[in-house]
Amino acid sequence: MNGDDWVGVDAAGKPWVCASGLRQSPINVPPTHALEHRGSTIPLKHQTTWSYPAIVSNGSNVEVINNGHAIQVEWLSPYAADVEIAVPAQYGNKTTITAVLGMGDNDPVSTVRATPLQFHFHSNSEHLVVGKYYPLEMHIVHKITDLPACAAAGGCFSVTGVLFELADGGDNPLLKAIWAAMPMREGAINYLPAGAEIHLEDLLPPANARDYVTYEGSLTTPPCTEGLLWHVMLKAQKISHAQWNKYKKAVALKDCEAAAVANETVPSAASPSPSATVHHRHHHRRLLEEEAPVNPNDYTCKVVAYGANYRSSQKLYGRAVKIGRAP
């Protein structure tokens, strides 16, 4: 759950850097006044810009996926979003997507385009802000291929994080279509109904209040690849109690019993009494990995731990965290 114990290799046999990396995500975001006192401000002309047109469903082109770890939204149609990340005007073959963090205020600038691939949610938030959590965090994952080094690597990544705070009022209307289509069972995919729209840009703070912190970090799940440019929006969106509870149930660790084998008595060396009852329990979210395919109707599942699909905060190891202040 933490990352300290995530040990493995990627598809190419390269060891994950989760436990060894010094530029891991998420982090505990320092107070903004501390950042500004250090002069760590990204000037306006070096700031990332986000422009997301509405994602409009035709009934079969927008998927809401329960992958057992998170709820993720993907689209099968091209998406004309325009996210622009600053790089030095004279960028070379070794310029990285995080170069903006090292640019001087007067350095001439060019931009590269970042294309959103999917967005998903974590609960709790993965990033903390001054030691505190938010109930939910949305991650919009972008790929960049414009830079030579990114093209050579098959793409660089940049993630934009949006925090949600619990509100006592009604549901956040911007989440309603996604929440209505949210599959409660691992491995299930629902299509957003025809005509439903996702206004991703409205889930970010308004452009004139889009303060963000930015730093070099990693994927928050294995292989924990580093070299990502992170953005975390400082103004939180709202989520209702009902919306948050539904999300937690969807990604909950579930304790499932197959009706036909429940309460079967088997001898057990660990509980030597011949009448010991052993429940045959299955973690629903692990069915895909460990079990032969079964009819989900054969199981009754009980939530044993609400969704906690977040990684623990990682150390900064001296990394720069900078702030982009809206105009």
Minimum distance from residue 268 beta carbon to its own copies (Å): 5
| String marking each residue 197-236 x if it binds its own copies according to CB under 8 A | ---------------------------------------x
Annotated catalytic residue 33: no
DSSP string, 72-84: EEEESS----EEE
Query: Are β-strands 156-167 and 197-198 bridged in parallel, bridged antiparallel, or unpaired?
Result: unpaired
Catalytic residue among 69, 279, 280, 282: 69
| String marking each residue 24-63 x if it binds its own copies according to CB under 8 A | ----x-x---------------------------------
CA dihedral 163, 166, 172, 175 (to 10 degrees): 50
**What is the spatial distance between Cα 103 and Cα 105, in angstroms, rounded to a whole number?**
6
Q: Which of residues 75-104 bind its own copies (CB under 8 A)?
A: none
Angle at 30 between CA 24 and CA 31, to 5 degrees: 160
Minimum distance from residue 204 beta carbon to its own copies (Å): 18
Please identify which residue in 104, 108, 168, 327 interacts with its own copies, judged by CB under 8 A.
168
Could you tell me which of 178, 207, 49 has the C-alpha nearest to residue 119?
Answer: 178
Minimum distance from residue 23 beta carbon to its own copies (Å): 15
Is the separation of the CB atoms in 97 and 113 below 8 Å? no
Q: Near its own copies by CB under 8 A, which window of 50-58, 191-199, 207-215, 305-313?
A: 305-313
| String marking each residue 127-166 x if it binds its own copies according to CB under 8 A | -xxxxxxxx-----------------------------xx
**What is the spatial distance between Cα 190 and Cα 245, in angstroms, rounded to a whole number?**
19
Question: How far lies 274's CA from each of 54, 121, 197, 230, 269, in Å?
Answer: 63, 46, 59, 57, 10
- The residue among 93 and 273 lying less far from its own copies, judged by its C-beta, is 273
**What is the spatial distance between Cα 97 and Cα 216, in angstroms, rounded to a whole number?**
9
Q: Which of residues 241-300 bind its own copies (CB under 8 A)?
A: 241, 244-245, 248, 252-253, 255, 258-261, 264, 266, 268-273, 276-283, 290-292, 294-295, 298-299
- The residue among 106 and 273 lying less far from its own copies, judged by its C-beta, is 273
Question: How far lies 11's CA from each of 8, 15, 222, in Å?
Answer: 10, 9, 11
**What is the spatial distance between Cα 100 and Cα 48, in angstroms, rounded to a whole number?**
9
- Under the criterion CB under 8 A, does residue 313 sit at the interface with its own copies? yes
* Residues noted as catalytic: 69
Residues that bind its own copies (CB under 8 A): 1-2, 4, 28, 30, 124, 128-135, 165-168, 236, 238, 241, 244-245, 248, 252-253, 255, 258-261, 264, 266, 268-273, 276-283, 290-292, 294-295, 298-299, 303-306, 308, 312-313, 315-316
